[in-house]
């Protein structure tokens, strides 16, 4: 019985490890630079920074705060819910993310294309680099 308990605990730990690793690996600052966009009168152009902390994120564009929000990670899927900011979206966005070395990419699973949310969709379509 004791052997079963040890094996069960190991299996549970191995199942949780990828989620914990994914969450921890997103922590920190990620940057991308958008150039030459004519969308929104060029407002998307500039250096974008996403700073992930456990359960939260903060987005800046050219050093100006844009959005603060809460995040939840399950495997390689992140759900973003803006809480405040000049460009906060009122709905959640769900994205699949991939980490390759110091590069982070997002693929939209579901997100609104309303006027406030489309900025998130367009910015997250770019590759980010660990700062």
Tens-digit pLDDT profile for residues 7-33? 344 333 444 434 444 445 799 999 999
- pLDDT tens profile 40-50: 788 899 999 99
Architecture of domain 2-130: Beta Barrel (2.40)
Distance CA 30, CA 51 (A): 6
Give this prediction's pTM. Answer: 0.79
Domain ranges of the chain: 2-130
How far CA 57 is from CA of 23, 37, 39, 49, 92, in Å, comes to 12, 24, 24, 10, 13
């Amino acid at each position: 019985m004791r052997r079963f308990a040890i094996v069960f605990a190991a299996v549970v730990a191995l199942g949780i490890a990828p989620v914990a690793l994914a969450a921890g690996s997103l922590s920190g600052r990620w940057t991308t630079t958008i150039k030459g966009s004519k969308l929104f009168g060029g407002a998307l152009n500039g250096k974008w920074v996403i700073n992930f902390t456990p359960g939260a994120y903060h987005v800046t564009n050219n050093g100006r705060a844009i959005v603060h929000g809460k995040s939840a990670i399950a495997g390689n899927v992140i759900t973003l819910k803006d809480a405040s900011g000049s460009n906060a979206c009122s709905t959640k966005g769900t994205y699949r993310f991939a980490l390759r070395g110091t590069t982070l990419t997002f693929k939209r699973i579901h997100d609104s294309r309303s006027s406030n949310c489309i900025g998130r969709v367009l910015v997250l379509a770019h590759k980010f680099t660990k700062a």
